[in-house]
Amino acid sequence: MRLHDREKFLLGKINKQMVRLENGTIDVCDECGEPISLRRLLARPVTTLCIDCKEQSEKEEAAIAQAGRGGVLDATETADGERITGVGAEE
């Protein structure tokens, strides 16, 4: 059943990409409107995000997952561990 559900989900993505192809928007990012590289589309034909937006999405998902596991970020730290400096941040 799980395999069937995954294949059904993927088929839905493929059908959406076919519509995007027909509309001439298959290489346009859904988030920022910038072009999606041909290399990315060849590697992942069902993608709807450029690499920059996908990386940002993954960072946000990781931060949410970390918070869900009880991880608490320091007030001067971002989800990827970078220190924030400047206004309002202690150095």
90 pLDDT higher than 70: no
Give this prediction's pTM.
Answer: 0.66
Contact 45, 21 (CB under 8 A): no
pLDDT in tens, 44-77: 999 999 999 999 999 999 999 988 877 655 555 5
- 83 forms bridges with which residues in the sheet? 77
Among candidate residues 69, 32, 38, the one with its CA nearest the CA of residue 54: 32
Greatest C-alpha distance within the chain: 53
Burial class (CB in 10 A: 0-12, 13-18, 19+), 36: buried
Unique residue bearing structure tokens 């590289």: 37
Residue 86 has a pLDDT of: 46
- 77 forms bridges with which residues in the sheet? 83
